[in-house]
Amino acid sequence: MKSDSPTDFFEPLAQRMRPRHIDEFIGQERLLGSDKLLRRLYEEGALTSLILWGPPGVGKTSLARLITKKAEADYVEFSAVLSGIKDVREVVERARKAREERSRPTVLFVDEIHRFNKAQQDAFLPHVESALITLIGATTENPSFEIIPALLSRTKVLVLEPLTSKDLEQLTLKALNDCERGLGRLKAQIDTSALDFLILSSGGDARSLLNALELAAAMAIRDAGGHKLITLEIAQESVQKKAWRYDKNGEEHYNLISALHKSLRDSDPDGALYWLARMLEGGEDPIYLLRRMIRFASEDVGLADPLALMLGVSALESYKLLGSPEGDLALAHLAVHLALAPKSNSVYKAFGLAISDARTYGPLPTPLHIRNAPSRLMKELGYGKGYRYAHDYEEALVEQEHLPKELLGRSYYQPSDSGREKALKEMLELRVRLKKNVKKNDAPS
């Protein structure tokens, strides 16, 4: 007698449930809806080189296979990780024979095409250009970062979206009821709460959902009537821990750090905490996050709240002392403080202007009167001549230039009215007024 375990099928559920026809494909209505681009290409059996860019488990491989089947082309899968130039030559020769001997086009499907090195991409380029090979690449990374411009210009990039909750619910129920390829023979049903949990945990990834569903169905106990019920508890056990879609070196990394940075700048502590949590849960290095927030304290908070920079350094030391997970709270502490701190980029802008002048004017000579004069010769050459020691004057204020003559009159630092910097602005304005009252020939106090 057959066991009711889904492992009796030789292939995983996610593999068995791949669509056999475009009408079985679930999701991506923006590309496959009536009269949409990819639907028209499919129905006409047309072949064009494509880059399918989207998160895991949204149907990139299935689409490549369906397109190839409809066009009656040879289908070759190529590993960007395991294959080298020699394998490229073999694929090209195979495609040439298919065209010459059987008048068959060849579709080369490259999963994780973002892992192609430049030599591999260059090797394929002329054969894609001549249409000997129709290239369909699948990637979770932004193609503009990973694919050489020449190859990118010869392909059409299509963006696939994560599957919606409605898509995933349809897929789940279809897999449960399909007796031929799915779990229908198990007579399994699923609680609404369990279904909602699996959908949420999948993150829009059909493969992840079906893997969890298959395990949950196997774990469920039959009742007296021979039926199985997947409860919330079973669903949670089948998932264990949600796998976050996060690549520390890819576009998602830059998307999330940008979201954190802008939440801090826009004084939104809730947004800052959420994006901070997302990155930590995705495996981001906490030291990297602390470095970014310390930079933010200088660039976006500045002297409006001098405590922010000190708190950033303190949070870094706290994390080094405690590590994760205890030290993660120091990051949250810092994020909330930075979000709620008054903001000023005055120092950032002032330093940028100073850097620009330094680069534009080159190594301008230091004015003689503020040069150091440790030797007799230097004194004879005028080093330090006319220097006025500020502490010898009332309020330590002295009218004296400190910029090269080519930059006289420059004013880099313009404090804002935000936070602590408002007081600094008032102090600066007061010092300017007092300096104007100091005569160059005033005697020291």
Domain identity same for 32 and 152: yes
Q: In this structure, is residue 359 part of a structural domain?
A: no
Q: In this structure, is residue 351 part of a structural domain?
A: no
Residue-wise over 325-360: b if at least 16 C-beta within 10 A, else e? eebbebbbebbbbbbebbbbbbbebbeeeeeebeee
Residue type, 99: R
d(CA 73, CA 84): 24
Of 120, 142, 159, the domain-final residue? 159
Domain identity same for 90 and 213: no
Q: What is the CATH number of the domain that holds 395?
A: 1.10.3710.10
Q: In this structure, is residue 355 part of a structural domain?
A: no
Q: In this structure, is residue 22 part of a structural domain?
A: no
Domain identity same for 37 and 147: yes
Of 219, 239, 259, the domain-final residue? 239
Domain identity same for 200 and 148: no
Domain identity same for 289 and 269: yes
Domain identity same for 55 and 115: yes
Please tell me the predicted confidence (pLDDT) of residue 1.
34
Please tell me the predicted confidence (pLDDT) of residue 245.
57
Domain identity same for 277 and 232: no
Give the total number of structural domains in the chain.
Answer: 4
Evaluate if pTM is beyond 0.85.
no
Which residue range forms the structural domain that includes residue 46? 28-159
Q: In this structure, is residue 78 part of a structural domain?
A: yes
Domain identity same for 115 and 136: yes
Per-residue pLDDT of the chain (445 residues; tens, 9 = 90+): 334 444 445 789 999 999 999 999 999 999 998 888 899 989 998 899 999 998 889 999 999 999 999 999 999 988 776 767 778 788 888 899 989 888 899 999 998 888 888 888 888 888 888 889 999 999 988 888 888 898 899 999 999 998 999 999 999 999 999 999 999 988 899 999 999 999 988 888 999 999 999 999 999 988 877 788 999 999 988 886 554 555 555 667 888 999 999 999 999 999 999 999 998 988 788 999 999 999 999 999 999 999 999 999 999 999 988 888 889 999 999 999 999 999 999 999 999 999 999 999 888 988 888 888 888 888 888 888 888 888 887 777 777 888 898 998 888 988 888 888 888 888 888 777 776 665 544 545 4
d(CA 69, CA 60): 14
Q: What is the CATH number of the domain that holds 143?
A: 3.40.50.300
Domain identity same for 177 and 226: yes
SS3 222: strand
Domain identity same for 35 and 154: yes
